[in-house]
Amino acid sequence: MADIIGKLDNAEEYVRGVCERMWECKRELGAATVRIGLMGKGRSPNYRVEYLPGDVETPTLFACYRGQGRPQAHNVSRKDRPWGRAAAGLGLGKKKRSISIVGSIQMSRGV
DSSP H helical ranges for the chain = 11-29, 92-109
Report the Cα 71 to chain-centroid distance in Å. Answer: 13
Contact 47, 64 (CB under 8 A): yes
Give CA torsion, residues 24, 29, 30, 36, to 10 deg.
-60
Mapped onto helix, strand or coil, the DSSP state of residue 7 is: helix
**Per-residue confidence of the chain (111 residues) as pLDDT tens digits?**
667 778 888 888 888 888 889 899 999 998 888 888 888 888 888 888 999 888 888 888 898 888 776 777 555 555 567 778 777 776 544 444 554 554 454 445 554
Domain ranges of the chain: 2-109
Query: What is the pTM (predicted TM-score) of this model?
Result: 0.72
- Which of 25, 24, 26, 70 has its CA nearest to residue 46? 70
